[in-house]
Chains A and B, each alone.
Chain A
Amino acid sequence: MRLFPETKIDFMKYRNYLITISLIVIAAGMISLWVKGGPKIGVEFTGGTLLTVQFNEPQNFNELRNILASSGLDNAVIQEYGTNGVAIRIPEFEAEPEGNLREALKGKNYEVLGVEGIGPQVSRSLQKKAWLAILIANAGILAYVGYRFKPVWGLAGVIALVHDVLVTVGFCSFFDKEITLSVIAAFLTLIGFSINDTIVIYDRMRENLKLKKGLDFREIVNLSINQNLARTALTSFTVFLVVVALFFLGGQVIHDFSFVFIIGIITGTYSTVFIAAPIIVSMEKG
């Protein structure tokens, strides 16, 4: 079967428009972050206590807030969690948060689904580890791609990755998604996916540089992208199938992870063609 006809689209012609669109999307994300006072950060990185509680009937949030306040949990923030569930976030780390909760929710029918209590030491170390993982991943990619292809190509690839992360962080802000440990994992996976996509094009470019000596660099890039168009569409589509399944069926815990990754697939595929490739074209010219 063949759904994709042979194409000869001049992708590089549109690069300035598309880079502008990217910049607008990133700027919108940054503005959203600024308006909302920075990204929402999960309890594992800020420290504090997060209790997820399942009730068997819908709860009135105002009532719940008052009940919690009257039993000493006055700075608790309540959020909806699944159906009839709530996530209660307390800014301080408490060693035995259920004690207070039990006192507060006396007479109600509930079950504690999970507790995440993170002291300042732990949150600091998790923050450090998250940054380290992102840095190491990027540095490793930069080194490997630079070594296998050309340093400039590696740099362009990493710029595309930074683009993907910025766009996704912006979307997280639009949709009020918290940056949690699993969202960080999703970021790293999207970095993996995006670079994977970029390298497939790079490989084709390297091959075409050898085969088609007469073409100028811009034509080589265009040709490589066109030749790989079917593959790009098919792969992105199959990965998309999996992630959409995780998003809708995977339950609360991997919901945010899949959300980030859905955005990541789109921006990862896009950034190869419209960020990494144009940068190389500009640099190889100059």
Chain B
Amino acid sequence: MKEFKWRGVIIIIVTAVSLILLLPTFSSYLPSGVKKLLPKRQIKLGLDLKGGIHLIFNIDMDKAMESRINILAQEIKEKLAEEGITEEDIKSGQVLKVILPDASTQGIFRDVINSQFPDLEVISSGEGGDGKYSFELTLKETEKKILKERAASLALETIRNRIDQFGVTEPLIARQGESEIVVQLPGIKTDAEKEQAKRLIGRTALLEFKVVDDSLDLIAKLADKLPENIYLTYETIEDKSGARKSVSYLRSSSISKLQEFLNGKIPDGYQIFLGETFEKDTRVRSFRTYLIKKDTLLTGEMLTDARARFDRFPPYVGIKFNSAGADRFFQITKAHVGERLAIVLDDKVYSAPRIKEVISGGSAVIEGSFTDEEAKLLAIVLRSGALPAPLKMIGEISVGPTLGKDSIDKGLFASLVGGLAVIAFMLFYYSFSGIIASIALVLNVLIILAIMGALEGTLTLPGIAGIALTIGMAVDANVLIFERIKEELKVGKTPRAAVDAGFDKAFNTIFDSNLTTIVAALALFLFGSGPIKGFGITLTLGLIANIFTSVFVCKTIYDYLLQKRKIKTISI
């Protein structure tokens, strides 16, 4: 009898703990005094139930590598100069290519690389035949790994910063695989919010300051061969000495046409960047070219603050540099007085004001035809820093609030109807024993939800379906036991002996069948994605709980009735 008491205590404890763990999920119905006493963790609803967006981004690791190699190329150039070698050509990309004009200097080059650039390795080298010697270098595997790791964690942090500042409730930002980042924003409902969020996250926000070259008359030379839809336009600016002068640029409504036309026509050391322009009378949006010197003078890395300002129209963004940045800015403005300084953000020129005088104090403004919202978003991305490499959105799943509500309402209703139908059938078929089975069922569902709450699990629509199915499958255990008990009663055993034998014999079967189904459910949980995972979780939990409720709980109830209440027959 002592053992029996313990079993009762275990069941009561499990039930009580489950109730306590589940309560926080329904905390909105509770008085606040009670809330404080309860655990904080509760079941979360999946995006499919509460609505929101799920975005998958890919970090362009090739670009991250290219920019690293680019920096190394500059450093190699400097080091070679120190050694008195001038390379004939140095090209960076995924692979760094260096051509030395004199093959005899290759030993020195190797020494420089080995001693000062431990991140690089030579992948091929050889004589060009004309006395030249060429090398191909790339980052070492370990270095690539570190670079990717760093890029991913930096991107993650930057996105987290941006979203925090944007103010979305309960965001989830996580890394997936080597180069993917998943962002879940349950709070996002409308189309407009969605678009803003995508832009906020996906923008590289690489801010660069470069000098416009107005002395080179490159554009005018191209003027006679212009294809359709590209126009030569003139503007009047002041040159270094303050004299007015007319310079030309190209204008088109198509970015790709401009890029295609200019491809290969730009001399070394220069770049063409595009900016937006509005035609004065028609206000039609088009794109224009800026001929810009390649060297980046200053980047957004030295920013300390960026704020949207609305004191004049259109709104603009005011930025502030830290002291090193302010000093650099001062030097730049001093060296380039009278020239135009292009403010380039993600390869697009926002404005290119003329440096009228030396600027100290380290603040500047970014102007453009911003709306209020755009100015605010730009300030956020500048404040939270640039991404280490461009992000590309590769997947999106969004669920509107209407569909989410419809799913949760219908899913819960269908599960409830299914569950009640099962209970009604059990009561009908097994009469009194059906009540015991139903108690076990309800306890089973309670345990599933409690564990979900304790683990802060996510309940998805397939998850609800999983619970409904668990109800169906859990009944199987009871059916197995009850049918066995019937068989034992038929061969003339007493109720007590029949119950003992029925449970005993059914146990093996229940254990085996539940465990094999758990194998399938675990596969769903481990390899499934999104909502499928939720299904795997509830099914696995349900099957585990099932062994406890159908066998342990039901047997205890029977024992109580047969031994304590001394009932003589069982209705089954």
Contact = CB atoms under 8 A, between A and B. Distances in A.
Contacts of A35: none
A246 B198 contact: no
Most chain A CB within a 10 A radius of its CB, from B195, B475, B480, B516: B516
Contact of A184 (B58, B398, B532): B532
A155 interface: no
Nearest to A98: B191
Given A113-B400, A181-B530, A195 B468 contact: no
Contacts of B528: 129, 133, 181, 185
Contacts of B508: 203
A195 B509 CA distance: 12
A188 B509 contact: no
Contacts of B428: 1
B396 A126 contact: no
B394 interface: yes
Contacts of A137: 519-520, 523-524
Contacts of B415: 242, 245-246, 250
A271 interface: no
Interface in A1-23: 1-3
A25 interface: no
A64 interface: no
Contacts of A119: 56, 58, 393-395
B531 interface: yes
A114 B418 contact: no
Contacts of B466: 189
A235 B413 contact: no
A118 B394 CA distance: 6
A46 interface: no
A36 interface: no
A24 interface: no
B397 interface: yes
Interface stretch (A65-73, A139-147, A167-175, A215-223): A139-147
Contacts of B505: 207
Contacts of B214: none
A136 B523 contact: yes
B530 to A, nearest CB: 7
B431 interface: yes
B396 A241 contact: no
B410 A251 contact: yes
Interface stretch (B103-111, B267-275, B419-427): B419-427
A182 B463 CA distance: 11
Interface string B459-479: 001100110110111011001
A254 B398 contact: no
Given A193-B517, A200-B513, A246-B415, A132 B527 contact: yes
Nearest to A206: B508
Interface in A225-270: 227-228, 230-231, 234-235, 237-246, 248-254, 257-258, 261
A236 B103 CA distance: 82
Which of A2, A114, A203 has most B Cβ within 10 Å? A114
Contacts of A257: 462, 465
Contacts of B411: 250-251, 253-254
Interface in A119-168: 119-122, 125-126, 129-130, 132-134, 136-137, 140-141, 144-145, 148
Contact of B535 (A125, A148, A185, A239): A185
A93 interface: yes
Interface in B33-82: 48, 56, 58
B323 interface: no
A28 interface: no
B425 to A, nearest CB: 6
B134 to A, nearest CB: 35
B516 A196 contact: yes
Nearest to A244: B418
Contacts of A93: 394-395
A203 B509 contact: yes
A241 B472 contact: yes
Interface in A72-107: 93, 95-96, 98-99, 102
B414 A191 contact: no
B515 A144 contact: yes
B475 A238 contact: yes
A189 B520 contact: yes
Interface in B382-400: 393-400
Interface stretch (B17-25, B252-260, B401-409): B401-409
A98 B419 CA distance: 39
B307 interface: no
A203 to B, nearest CB: 4
B512 A185 contact: no
B288 to A, nearest CB: 24
Contacts of A144: 515-516, 519
Contact of B520 (A140, A181, A239, A254): A140
A25 to B, nearest CB: 23
B532 A238 contact: no
B522 interface: yes
Contact of B402 (A113, A118, A240, A258): A113
B529 interface: yes
Contact of B418 (A122, A125, A200, A241): A241
A281 interface: no
Interface of B: 48, 56, 58, 177, 180, 191, 194-195, 198, 393-400, 402-403, 406-407, 409-411, 413-415, 417-419, 421-422, 425-426, 428-431, 461-462, 465-466, 468-469, 471-473, 475-476, 479-480, 483, 486-487, 505, 508-509, 512-517, 519-524, 526-532, 535-536, 539
A-B residue pairs, 8 tightest by C-beta: A251-B410, A119-B394, A245-B418, A239-B472, A242-B418, A192-B520, A137-B523, A249-B414
24 contacts: A1-B428, A96-B195, A98-B195, A111-B402, A133-B524, A182-B462, A188-B524, A189-B535, A192-B517, A193-B473, A195-B513, A195-B516, A196-B476, A196-B516, A197-B513, A200-B476, A204-B509, A239-B475, A240-B472, A242-B469, A245-B417, A245-B421, A249-B410, A257-B465
